[in-house]
Amino acid sequence: MPITVNHVVISVSQGDITAWQGDMIVNASNSGLYGGGGVDGAIHRAGGPRIAEECAVIRQKQGGVLPGEAAVTSAGIMTFRGVIHTVGPIWKGGNAGEPMILANCYTNSLDLACAHEAHSIAFPNISTGIYNFPKELACKVALDSVIQYVRQRRIPGLPLQRIEFVCFERDNADLYKATLKTYS
């Protein structure tokens, strides 16, 4: 069940983020912006070689993207207005600032979506795959970050109207749905 915060609908669904309908999607990328496994590989495959070419330009200009930061490319042959690539933290036990870095992934991605006048954005489950961030904590950080962003930074004129967490796995979707209910 979606919630609405400052006129922005926040929801959860299960599925393939590359098949989502909206303006921009977020890619859980690696620092080099190379198409890897999981959602990163799926987005690179679905978008075609143009995304990889644009990621190479970002690497040449700035050497990649640091954990917690984000960069934008086109969506290649996908119908989105763009793909926001963000680099989540690798879980090291929780004492290396991982929750704050993960929160920055969401905040910086939302900043880029707003800068590109996106009306809608979809997030995957950042850092919960091979980066081993605990799923329950990642869920809480994700929802806290997005809801706080919308509450604090939502001002008249910002285009964002819909934020969706698109979870590939059912257990993640169920976790996000149950946790989202606690915010309503």
β 70-73/162-167 pair status: unpaired
Residue 171 known to be catalytic: no
Q: In sequence order, what DSSP letters do the residues of 60-104 get, joined into one string?
A: HHHSS--TT-EEEE--TTSSSSEEEEEEPPPPSSS-SSHHHHHHH
Rounded Cα distance between 103 and 143, Å, is: 9
Structure tokens at 88: 């989540």
**Catalytic position from the list 16, 23, 40, 144:** 40
Structure tokens at 150: 């919308």
The residues that are catalytic are: 40
